[in-house]
Amino acid sequence: MTSEQYLLLREKFPHLLNHQSVEENGSLVEIDNFSVAIKQLIILCGDDPKRDGLQETPFRVLKAFLESTEGYREDPKLHLEKTFDIQHKGLILIKDIDFYSLCEHHFSPFFGVAHVGYIPKEKITGLSKVGRLVEGYAKRFQVQERLTTQIAQAIEEVLDPEGTIVLVEAKHMCMCSRGIKKANTVTTTSSIRGIYENRPDLRAEFYSLIKN
């Protein structure tokens, strides 16, 4: 990696500065090791890391991974803490929140939409904050089930609503383009809390609204 690339990474991702690792000759040892590993990967796959199009690839790969895992550098729950004093007794549904995440097994993308509903007791958060919450948990190495649970858990913990319901629909590239190669398969996961656990009528309302 060149010193310009290294400086750009440090500027864009300041957490690298706090890294425990050793700095040698103006570069972090771990970044250099990563670069070597990506070159080895290119060789193992049968190509030449020195050819023109691949020379900058270790840098690009690292930058892309750091961008795709920005959620580790925040506590997504904090977005919900700014609440409003609004009287509202019914469902608040934020649907079709699109997200891109990385499967923790293969580091390949999985992406889709999250639908988040809650029936407030006293606390209501800003609509965009629910999108930020989804983004904060999606931008990590994830599995869909954990992503779904974390979103529901955060709403429940911070807003303390009557009930929470979260449904996530996603396509996993590790299943579409390799392995079993099922290009059209969509996985659905849900997490329900509070009043939703015992009220099929409220669940039905949520499911019918997200279908429209």
Are the C-beta atoms of 166 and 114 separated by less than 8 Å?
yes
Chosen from Zn ion, ligand GTP, none, partner binding at 145 (C-beta under 5 to 8 Å by type): ligand GTP
Q: In the stretch 11-40, what mask flags binding to ligand GTP with x, by CB under 6 A?
A: ------------------------------
Dihedral class, residue 49 (left if φ above 0, else alpha if ψ from -120 to 50, else beta):
alpha
Give the footprint of ligand GTP on residues 86-145 (CB under 6 A): 103, 105, 143-145
Chosen from Zn ion, ligand GTP, none, partner binding at 193 (C-beta under 5 to 8 Å by type): none
179 binds ligand GTP (CB under 6 A): yes
> What are the tokens at 188?
């659905």
Q: In the stretch 58-97, what mask flags binding to ligand GTP with x, by CB under 6 A?
A: ----------------------------------------
Q: Which residues contact 202 (CB under 8 A, 6 or more apart)?
A: 91, 119, 163, 165, 195, 196
Residue with smaller CB distance to ligand GTP, 31 or 103: 103
Active site residue 79: no
DSSP run (H or E) holding 204 = helix 200-211
Single-letter code of the amino acid located at 37: A
Q: For tokens 């970044």, what's the residue?
A: 31
Are the C-beta atoms of 130 and 94 separated by less than 8 Å?
yes
Active site residue 45: no
Active site residue 105: yes
174 binds Zn ion (CB under 5 A): yes
175 binds ligand GTP (CB under 6 A): yes
103 binds Zn ion (CB under 5 A): yes
Helix (H, G, I), strand (E, B) or coil at 140: coil
Active site residue 15: no
Q: For tokens 């310009």, what's the residue?
A: 4
106 binds Zn ion (CB under 5 A): yes
Residues catalogued as catalytic: 103-106, 144, 172, 174
